[in-house]
Amino acid sequence: METTTEKNIATFTHLSALTQYFIPFGNYIFPIILWSSKKESSEFVNYHGKQILNFQLSLLLYSLVLILIAVPTFLITLFRNIPFEAVVNNQDFVFRNFNFDGNIGMLTVGLVAVIIFGVLKVAEFFLIIYASIKTSNGENYKYPITIPFIK
């Protein structure tokens, strides 16, 4: 049976991942600090600390893959369609022969990657809140689509 202190520490370990919205890399730093302070004395805190860190590392990997897909597809599409004969008229750039007809597939792949990235970020927020609620009730919660980096 978990004590109230263990439940609170495990809950705050999950919630500390939300510090990413205020402090860069807070979603890694604060869960590591909370987890490492009590992982030896509480199996409950150890389990939840591993879960949130694995979830954050998995999201980092997924985000990097999506960025590596989206950015090059947009850049390739943009530079393939911009002719090097840009004309300056009254301080405005005028691009000739700018069309996307042959690159709809590339743009679609890039746009889908951006949409999936957005969905991941929204799902991350709600999954962290849900995991915190489950943890505060003393239940073990396992995040979906998580790669077990830390065992």
User: Of 27, 109, 105, which is closest to residue 68 (Cα–Cα)?
Assistant: 109
SS3 category, 89:
strand
pLDDT (tens digit per residue) in 89-111: 566 665 556 566 667 777 888 89
- 33-62 per-position pLDDT tens digit: 999 998 898 899 999 999 999 999 999 999
Tens digits of per-residue pLDDT, 116-150? 999 999 999 999 999 999 999 999 999 999 999 98
Task: Give the global pTM.
Answer: 0.83
> Percentages helix, strand, coil for the chain, rounded to the nearest 5?
70, 5, 25
DSSP track, 96-151: SS---GGGHHHHHHHHHHHHHHHHHHHHHHHHHHHHHHHHHTT-----TT------
Q: Name the residue among 107, 111, 80 with its Cα closest to residue 95.
A: 80
Task: At 60, give phi and psi (nearest 5°).
Answer: -60, -45
